[in-house]
Amino acid sequence: MAVENWVAKEIESLTAFRRDLHQNPELLYDVTRTASSVATALRAAGVDEVIEGIGRSGVVGVIHGQTDTKGRMIGLRADMDALPIDETSGKPWASLVPGKMHACGHDGHSTMLLGAARQLAETRAFDGTVIVIFQPAEEGGAGAKAMIDDGLFERWPCNEVYGMHNRPNLPVGEFTIAPGPIMAAVDEVRITVTGRGGHAARPNDTIDPLPVAAALIQAIQTVVSRTVDPLDSAVVSLCTIHAGNAFNVVPQAIELTGTVRTLREEVRDHVEAQLSRLVEHIAAGFGGVGNLDYVRHYPVTVNHARETELAAAAAQEVAGMDKVCVDMPPIMGGEDFSFMLNEVPGAMINVGNGSSAGLHHPEYDFNDDVIPWGCSYWTTLVRQRLPLA
């Protein structure tokens, strides 16, 4: 294993840093304590500039190499936020905050990037500039977009940007990556059917929205099965349904919510259009009014082909050729690093978390044995991408 010696001396303090973040999870943009821990640690590491408050609560660290002959700059990105889940891991470092936990390993991602920043600031063995990006609000708050909108890539015009996520049940010391779409676009669907309420004993005087919703739910099952090309991927899941509050009253309206996941923008547009048609016309067929509110959250996460090869090469140097899968199948979860990949060429890689509960599960915990692998991946990537003359 090509994990470098410097990690050995840092591992104890990095593990302590990770567990401290784990005990003190924060949500979305309210990552005050986490962001200030990261900023303090970056300053202590001798990072040249540490800027807080980018995209409300994001942190950027700037590290200059020994030389800068080509004016090249690369961005390395981690996320800092936790999830609104009650932790049941039973670990000694489990969350101290009821209802919040690091169930996606963002505590580990921040720690691995901090470890890399320490090593890079100490050795400076590269030509150019490295930007370490710690973003808030990955879990549904579009924190990456907030940092971009706040001028992230204008202030630091990166030539390339890279991200990393841990993957449960991939062995520690292994990596997976693929070019092209690797994670889905995440959209939210809110459907309202308005009829006419009234006495349950006089249904003929009402337009009952419940059978409309029932017909609609059935019809929506055909969006993917009958209208999307079988060689494309799409998910339409309706997840909530709300109407009425008395057993003898026909309600005025009913609301359904759900999510749509797609891997291509064309499929995304098609699913939205088809849902819109069904909602409008099925409701109208019953004499009601259907309304679709379609909210686009995260775009498809698309790894750029060249940068995917470069990222895989760094992982292969660290882990060995046979420990890096370069044709990982996509998953229908979403990731807001997609916003950064839409601005700057780059790639996201997965690092094995070993045998563990799944992401977003109350028993999940980031595996501290992954820290050296993640740190070494980052520093190797920098050494390969910004080689000294």
Residues that bind Zn ion (CB under 5 A): 104
Nearer to Zn ion, 104 or 131 (CB): 104
Nearer to Zn ion, 104 or 172 (CB): 104
Classify each residue of 346-380 as buried b or exposed e, where b means 16 or more C-beta atoms within 10 Å of its C-beta: bbbbbbbbbebbebebeebbbbbebbbbbbbbbbb
Residue that the structure tokens 């698309």 belong to: 302
Question: Cβ of residue 72: shortest distance to Zn ion, in angstroms?
Answer: 28
Question: Cβ of residue 326: shortest distance to Zn ion, in angstroms?
Answer: 22
- Give the residue closest to Zn ion by C-beta: 104
Residues 190/255, Cβ–Cβ less than 8 Å: yes
The amino acid at residue 139 is E
Nearer to Zn ion, 63 or 104 (CB): 104
Question: Cβ of residue 192: shortest distance to Zn ion, in angstroms?
Answer: 29
Question: Cβ of residue 191: shortest distance to Zn ion, in angstroms?
Answer: 26
The tokens of 141 are what? 């708050």
Q: For the chain, count helices (H), then strands (E).
A: 10, 16
Nearer to Zn ion, 274 or 350 (CB): 350
Question: Cβ of residue 81: shortest distance to Zn ion, in angstroms?
Answer: 9
**Three-class SS of 11-45:** HHHHHHHHHHHHHCCCECCCCHHHHHHHHHHHHHC
Nearer to Zn ion, 361 or 383 (CB): 361
Taking alpha carbons only, the member of 46, 82, 72 closest to residue 61 is: 46
* Cα(328)–Cα(338) distance, integer angstroms: 17
Nearer to Zn ion, 333 or 345 (CB): 333
Question: Cβ of residue 31: shortest distance to Zn ion, in angstroms?
Answer: 14
Element (H, E) at 232: none
